[in-house]
Amino acid sequence: MIPRAGTTGGTLVARCFIGLIFLLSGLNKLVNLDQTAQYIAAQGLPGPEFLAVAAAVIEIIGGLSLILGLGASLGGALLALYMIPVTVVFHGFWNISGVEGEMQFIQFLKNLAIEGGLLYVILFGAGEASFDAWLSKHGKELERWRRRPSAAA
C-alpha cells in the first residue's frame, strides 16, 4: 500500500514524540532509582526497588520500540498495559482535593491522551518510516509484528 502524502514523516514524528516521553522518563528513573523507589513506596506498593527497575526497563524498551519503529505494536501494547495501573495508582485525582487534585486530574487526562496514541500504533503499526516496514519489505518480519494495510496508516 502506498501511504498518503505526508503520512510517512508524520507517523515517524508522532512515534518519536510518544516514545521520547517514555525513553526520557525511563532513563530518569534508572539514574534516580532510590528516589523512584521512595516515590513508589510512598504509594504503599510492595517491592518498590523491584518496581522502580521494572518501570525504568519497560519505559526504556517501549520508548525505543516506538522511536525506532521496531516491534512498535508490541512496544505500544507493553506501554499501554503498563500505563493502566500507573495512571490509576499515581494520578488518583478522585482521592485528592484542591490544587493537587486538579494537577493529578491533568496528569490523568495526559495519560489518557498518550494511551490514545499508543492504541493507534497498536492498531495501525509504525508506518512506512520504521524498522518494522523495512523488515516487512525484505520479508524478515515476525508474524506477530505483521500489520494489515489500512486506509488510516
pLDDT at 42: 95
CA dist 85 and 90 (Å) reads: 8
pTM: 0.83
Write down the domain spans for the chain.
7-145
pLDDT at 100: 92
pLDDT at 66: 95
Of 14, 130, 135, whose CA–CA distance to 72 is shortest?
130
In degrees, rounded to 5, the angle at the alpha carbon of residue 135 between the alpha carbons of residues 27 and 11 is 60
CA dist 65 and 135 (Å) reads: 14
Q: What is the mean pLDDT of each run of 10 residues along the chain (153 residues)?
A: 58 92 98 97 96 98 94 94 96 90 94 96 86 79 52 52
pLDDT at 126: 82
pLDDT at 150: 52
pLDDT at 152: 54
CA dist 105 and 36 (Å) reads: 21
